Amino acid sequence: MDYKELYKKKLVSVEEILSKINSGDEIVSAMAASEPQGILSKLHTIKDRVEDVTVVVCLPMKDYEFFMNPSMKGHFLTESWFYTAGLREAHKYGTVSFIPNHLHLASTKRLHYRKPRFFLGTATPMDKHGYLSLSLGITYEKDILENADYVVLEINENLPRTYGDTQIHISEVDFVVENHAPVPEIPIVEPNEKDKIIGNYIAELVEDGSTIQLGIGGIPNAVAKALLNKKDLGIHTEMFTEGMVDLFEAGVITNKKKTLWKGKSIATFALGTKKLYDFIDDNMGVEFQRGAVVNDPYVIGQNYKMVSINTALQVDLTGQVCSESLGIRQFSGTGGQADTAVGAQISKGGKSIIALYSSVKNDTISTIVPVLTEGAAVTLSRNDVDYIVTEYGIAEMRGRSIRDRVRNLINIAHPKFRDELKEKAKELMIW
């Protein structure tokens, strides 16, 4: 077969793709830096001829017109597995709704509910064998495209070619659009002093030979820096980050001690700067696998000394963790936090760690509270936390009674709120 000819037959314009979208359709877009910018940036232009089009996204990198413009209500409803600042803003317009999920079940549960008409993603240019690489992630993308009526890929020569389960053959694609746009990047958040203190505490809990999972932000970046003196760490993570590149280049990450995919760093997606994208380009030491596999707690738990490191917004005195909402208002998402925390506890020698500042807004609000704010989502059950860390220390949760947990958490709360927390704990009869 002449794959170049097949590719040419499937090559169309953005406008041709948009012309195929009808009222009532479900569209699922690839997530984060894998999103098809060319198609999504023009999706709003068909507003006047469609109604009730559902667009499923996750961590969109741009504030697209189809959800940011209030006039899109009734024409497009954006449903997201993870909120960004733009989605939080658009929520009040009635153009956005949140999809509760555990990452490893996100695609499975969505497909149980509804079959997508379109999958919209991105890929590298085709090789001589007719294969394209889905590049920066397959968290849910492979599962969705295998069930969609139409698979549309935006081809971008700037995307890194990656390994694992990312390959797709041109024969499995219905349409391709070419758009060689800059790959979305996120700036590196430099750790502040609090981040560094928390990072050092967490590093104390990470033993040589551990396999780790990290997220993004000041605290995870500080953790990565604090791990530079460790040996033979492995990576089994939802998101591959810039800090992991630094650890690999420093010789800290060898993946030698891993139980699964020994010798390889495993992730479901990558998001960062050009440095990160250059590192994973054509790098056989980094593999992307589906979120349904990587984030399955029973897969995670097979790793020896698996350490799950996540952040939170609020923790109550019994250890319940809210990481995704401010009261009833959705802020981000569950993502893989519960997946990795549960998996770490199954692991022999594993640890589930939650980190947060002890207070916010210039020390006027304690993040350690007697009870969670009304309406707050419990992202992580109190049964699934081993350690909670603030800039004031480490509170051990594993195996402890409520009374012990309360005392340990008050000890790492901001000093300004400790007496108040003690009194409230006594009122609630948990002291």
Average pLDDT estimate for 203-214: 97
* Average pLDDT in the chain: 97
Measured in degrees and rounded to the nearest 5, phi and psi for residue 391 equal -70, -5
| Burial (CB count <10 Å: 0-12, 13-18, 19+), residue 236 | buried
Is 246's pLDDT higher than 90?
yes
Q: Could you tell me where in the chain the CATH 3.40.1080.20 domains are found? A: 193-428
What does the pLDDT read at residue 421?
98
Other beta carbons less than 10 A from residue 367's beta carbon:
18
Check if the beta carbon of residue 301 is closer than 8 Å to that of residue 349. no
Check if the beta carbon of residue 237 is closer than 8 Å to that of residue 210. no
What does the pLDDT read at residue 217?
86
Q: Could you say which of 141, 238, 287, 324 is catalytic?
A: 238
What does the pLDDT read at residue 215?
84
pLDDT digits (tens, 9 = 90+) for 65-108: 999 999 999 999 999 999 999 999 999 999 999 999 999 999 99
pLDDT digits (tens, 9 = 90+) for 182-208: 999 998 889 999 999 999 999 999 999
| CATH number for domain 193-428, candidates 3.40.1080.20, 3.40.50.300, 3.30.70.2610, 3.40.630.30 | 3.40.1080.20
What does the pLDDT read at residue 208?
98
What does the pLDDT read at residue 204?
97
Topology of domain 3-178, per CATH? Glutaconate Coenzyme A-transferase (3.40.1080)
Q: Could you tell me where in the chain the CATH 3.40.1080.10 domains are found? A: 3-178
What does the pLDDT read at residue 188?
87
> Tell me, what amino acid is at 349?
G
> Tell me, what amino acid is at 250?
A
Is 1's pLDDT higher than 80?
no
pLDDT digits (tens, 9 = 90+) for 354-386: 999 999 999 999 999 999 999 999 999 999 999
**Catalytic-residue membership of 238:** yes
Q: How confident is the model at residue 141 (pLDDT cuts 50, 70, 90)?
A: very high
Q: How confident is the model at residue 216 (pLDDT cuts 50, 70, 90)?
A: confident
Average pLDDT estimate for 12-33: 98
pLDDT digits (tens, 9 = 90+) for 105-114: 999 999 999 9
